[in-house]
C-alpha cells in the first residue's frame, strides 16, 4: 500500500480522517460510555421502571439545578417535549400550541405531536427570525402553550434579550398560556445572559434539557416542572414506551458529563466568539449570529454547496484540520454548516489553525 495516497471521497470522510477537528466533544464511540462506567461500582443496582437511587438522585439534582419542584429523566427530548405539550393541552382542554416554524417538533419528529397527540401547532414568526413579544400578543387563536427554544438552533443559535423573555413570560401568565422551554442547549446560553439556569427557568412552566449535545453524554433528557406536571409526565412516559426497566446507561453518562462540562460553558462561549471572528475575516463567509451568543453559530458561504464542499474537503486534507463534515444547501446558490464549540477546539495547535484559515480565505477567493 506504500505510496498509495488515499483520497477522501467526500467532506464527511475527510473530516472523519482529519488529525484535528475544531467542533464538538470528540467521537461518539463506545469509549464515551466505557469512561463513565469505569467510575461506577458494578454492584450498583439498576434503576427499575423509573424508580431507584440512580434515577432519583439525578432527577433531584437536576430539579434543584433548574429551580423546579421536580424533574423526570426521559430517553429523548422528542418524547419529553411532546408529553409536556400534551399535559398543558389536556389541562386546558385545548389542543393547540404555538412554536417557531423551525421548532424541533415541526421539522425533526415526523409529526409525532400531530399523529400521536392530535395537537395542532401554530407557527409563530418568520422562519428566519426569533419569536417576539409582538408575535405572541398578536396571535389571534387560543393556545394552551407557547414553546420557546433558547437558543433558536436552526437560525444559528440566536437569543432574544432577557427583558423580552420576561415580557413574553409575563404576558403568557396573564393570559393563562403555559410557557415551555426547549432548553436542549440551556447551559450554553447562561454566560451570555449572565443568569443561572434556575433564573431562566423561573420564566417557564416547564423545561426540557438535553445531555448529548454540548454535554456530550450518550443520550437522555430531563423534563422539569411542578410536582403534578412531573407525575403526569411519568404516566405519559410509560404510554410512549419510554419507561424502560433500565435507563442507567443514559442517566450515568448524563450525570458524568454534566459534571465534567457544565463549568466549561463560559470557555466554550468565549472560544466560539473568537473563532467566529476569525471565520468572518475569510472571503465570502459570515457567521450567524455575527457575534455568537452561545457555544454555537452557523457559518454561511456565498457560494453553492458542491463548490464549497470541495474546498472544505481539500483544506481538511491538506492542513489536517476539520472545520465541518456536513455542509448543507441554503438559499439560492449559498450554503452553510452548523458549528458547536466543545472540548476539541482547545487541542488544536493555534498556528496550524491560523494557517488553515489563511488557506481557506485564499481558496474561497478562487471559487
Q: How far is the CB of 239 from a copy of itself (least distance, A)?
A: 3
Q: How far is the CB of 235 from a copy of itself (least distance, A)?
A: 5
From residue 95 to residue 124, the character string flagging contacts with a copy of itself as x (rule: CB under 8 A) and all else as - is: --------------xxxx--xxx-------
Angle at 294 between CA 293 and CA 297, to 5 degrees: 85
Is there binding between residue 218 and a copy of itself (CB under 8 A)?
yes
Is there binding between residue 235 and a copy of itself (CB under 8 A)?
yes
One residue of 73, 88, 248, 339 binding a copy of itself per CB under 8 A: 248
Per CB under 8 A, contacts with a copy of itself among 177-216 are 212
Q: CB–CB of 338/289 below 8 Å? A: no
Q: How far is the CB of 261 from a copy of itself (least distance, A)?
A: 17
Is there binding between residue 362 and a copy of itself (CB under 8 A)?
no
Q: How far is the CB of 16 from a copy of itself (least distance, A)?
A: 9
Per CB under 8 A, contacts with a copy of itself among 319-348 are none
Contacts of 105 (CB under 8 A, 6+ apart): 78, 81, 82, 85, 99, 112, 113, 121, 147
Is there binding between residue 262 and a copy of itself (CB under 8 A)?
no
Among candidates 223, 200, 182, 205, which has minimal Cα distance to 88? Answer: 205
Cα 69 to Cα 270, 273, 331, 367: the distances in Å are: 32, 35, 44, 56
Give just the sign of the alpha carbon dihedral 291, 293, 294, 299: negative
Q: CB–CB of 150/186 below 8 Å? A: yes
One residue of 170, 198, 245, 291 binding a copy of itself per CB under 8 A: 245
285 three-state secondary structure? strand
Is there binding between residue 255 and a copy of itself (CB under 8 A)?
no
Is there binding between residue 93 and a copy of itself (CB under 8 A)?
no
Stretch that binds a copy of itself, among 69-77, 126-134, 294-302, 337-345 (CB under 8 A): 69-77
Per CB under 8 A, contacts with a copy of itself among 18-57 are 27-34, 37, 40-46, 48
Q: 43 or 163: whose CB is closer to a copy of itself?
A: 43
Stretch that binds a copy of itself, among 76-84, 126-134, 347-355, 359-367 (CB under 8 A): 76-84
Cell digits of residue 196: 443561572
Q: How far is the CB of 79 from a copy of itself (least distance, A)?
A: 3
Among candidates 319, 256, 280, 189, which has minimal Cα distance to 25? Answer: 256
Number of alpha carbons in the 13 Å side-chain half-sphere of residue 186: 29
Q: CB–CB of 69/219 below 8 Å? A: no
**Distance between CA atoms of 129 and 283, rounded to whole angstroms?**
25
**Distance between CA atoms of 68 and 198, rounded to whole angstroms?**
8
Angle at 326 between CA 325 and CA 327, to 5 degrees: 125
**Distance between CA atoms of 1 and 120, rounded to whole angstroms?**
59
Number of alpha carbons in the 13 Å side-chain half-sphere of residue 179: 22
From residue 141 to residue 180, the character string flagging contacts with a copy of itself as x (rule: CB under 8 A) and all else as - is: ----------------------------------------
Separation of CA 209 from chain center: 9
One residue of 22, 71, 80, 184 binding a copy of itself per CB under 8 A: 80
**Distance between CA atoms of 114 and 78, rounded to whole angstroms?**
13
Q: 19 or 111: whose CB is closer to a copy of itself?
A: 111
Is there binding between residue 252 and a copy of itself (CB under 8 A)?
yes
One residue of 149, 243, 317, 338 binding a copy of itself per CB under 8 A: 243
Q: 160 or 322: whose CB is closer to a copy of itself?
A: 322
Please report, as ranges, the residues that interact with a copy of itself according to CB under 8 A.
27-34, 37, 40-46, 48, 74-80, 82, 109-112, 115-117, 212, 218-219, 235-236, 238-250, 252
Amino acid at each position: 500500500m506504500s505510496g498509495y495516497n488515499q483520497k477522501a471521497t467526500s467532506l464527511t470522510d475527510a473530516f472523519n480522517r482529519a488529525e484535528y477537528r475544531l467542533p464538538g466533544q470528540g467521537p461518539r464511540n463506545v469509549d464515551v460510555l466505557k469512561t463513565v462506567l469505569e467510575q461506577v461500582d458494578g454492584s450498583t443496582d439498576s434503576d427499575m421502571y423509573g424508580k431507584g437511587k440512580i434515577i432519583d438522585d439525578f432527577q433531584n439534582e437536576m430539579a434543584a439545578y433548574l429551580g423546579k419542584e421536580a424533574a423526570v429523566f426521559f430517553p429523548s427530548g422528542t418524547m419529553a417535549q411532546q408529553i409536556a405539550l400534551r399535559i398543558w393541552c389536556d389541562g386546558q382542554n385545548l389542543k393547540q400550541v404555538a412554536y417557531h416554524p423551525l421548532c424541533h417538533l415541526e421539522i425533526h419528529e415526523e409529526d409525532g405531536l400531530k399523529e400521536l397527540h392530535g395537537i395542532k401547532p401554530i407557527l409563530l414568526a418568520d422562519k428566519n427570525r426569533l419569536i417576539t413579544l409582538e408575535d405572541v400578543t398578536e396571535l389571534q387563536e387560543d393556545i394552551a402553550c407557547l414553546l420557546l427554544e433558547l437558543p433558536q438552533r436552526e437560525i444559528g443559535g440566536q437569543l432574544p434579550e432577557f427583558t423580552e423573555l420576561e415580557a413574553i413570560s409575563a404576558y403568557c401568565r396573564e393570559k393563562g398560556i403555559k410557557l415551555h422551554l426547549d432548553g436542549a442547549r440551556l447551559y450554553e446560553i447562561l454566560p451570555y445572559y449572565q443568569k443561572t439556569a434556575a433564573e431562566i427557568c423561573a420564566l417557564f412552566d416547564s423545561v426540557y434539557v438535553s445531555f448529548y449535545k454540548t454535554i456530550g453524554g450518550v443520550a437522555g433528557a430531563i423534563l422539569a416542572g411542578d410536582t403534578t406536571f412531573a407525575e403526569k409526565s411519568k404516566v405519559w412516559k410509560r404510554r410512549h414506551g419510554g419507561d424502560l426497566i433500565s435507563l442507567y446507561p443514559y442517566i450515568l453518562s448524563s450525570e458524568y458529563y454534566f459534571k465534567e462540562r457544565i463549568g466549561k460553558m463560559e470557555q466554550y462561549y468565549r472560544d466560539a466568539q473568537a473563532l467566529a471572528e476569525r471565520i468572518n475575516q475569510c472571503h465570502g463567509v459570515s457567521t450567524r449570529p455575527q457575534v455568537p451568543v452561545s457555544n454555537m453559530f452557523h457559518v454561511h458561504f456565498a457560494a453553492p454547496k458542491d463548490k464549497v464542499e470541495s474546498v472544505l474537503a481539500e483544506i481538511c486534507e491538506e492542513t489536517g484540520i476539520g472545520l465541518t463534515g456536513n455542509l448543507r444547501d441554503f438559499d439560492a446558490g449559498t450554503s452553510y454548516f452548523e458549528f458547536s464549540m466543545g472540548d476539541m477546539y482547545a487541542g488544536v495547535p493555534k498556528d496550524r489553525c491560523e494557517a488553515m484559515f489563511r488557506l481557506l480565505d485564499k481558496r474561497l477567493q478562487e471559487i
